[in-house]
Every structure is written in structure tokens, then in C-alpha cells.
Amino acid sequence: MRFRKGDDVLVIAGNDKGKAGEIKRVLRKENRVIVDGVNLRWKHKRATKQNEASERVQEECPIHASNVMLRDPATGKGTRKRPKAEAK
């Protein structure tokens, strides 16, 4: 897989097409990535204790790696090649 945690990507297919974000987690076995602020779903959490309230939490779900593309930092558009590392 060509993606790493921390990469800036652009979503090219699906309900969130056109959105951009940073990769939070890479799931290599499933060939999926979790992108910050993309593919949000509601999770209903039940109260586990008597004095605790149940709640609705929005969380990011993984999307397939083929639906994202690396984003060029200079232009902000999708790119097929990994940007070259800056010299230190």
C-alpha cells in the first residue's frame, strides 16, 4: 500500500468525493484507511452504569484505499506520485 499515517489525501470516489484530510490510521490487511473528517457515522452508546446517560457519538469509518489519492501540497490537487522528501 502506498499510503502512510499522516499523509494528506483527497477522496476521489464515494459520498465524500472532493473532501480532503489527513490519514489517521492505515489498515493494511483490509486495504483501507481512516481519514480525518471523512466517512462519518453515528455510533449509539448504551449507558453501562445506572447514573450514566446513553449517547450518540460520531466516528470516522474506514474507506477503501482505491478511493483516495495523495494530495500535492503545492497545488492542492490529487497526484499519482509521492511528493519528494524535503532535504534536511
Phi and psi for 84 in degrees, rounded to 5? Answer: -70, 140
User: Model confidence over 22-55: pLDDT tens digits?
Assistant: 999 999 999 999 999 999 999 999 998 888 899 9
User: What totals of helices (H) and strands (E) does the chain contain, helices first?
Assistant: 0, 7
User: Model confidence over 66-87: pLDDT tens digits?
Assistant: 999 999 888 888 888 776 766 5
Spell out the domains of the chain, with CATH numbers in brackets: 8-70 (2.30.30.30)
Nearest CA to 79 out of 1, 2, 5, 15 is that of: 2
Burial of 44 (0-12, 13-18, 19+ CB in 10 A): exposed
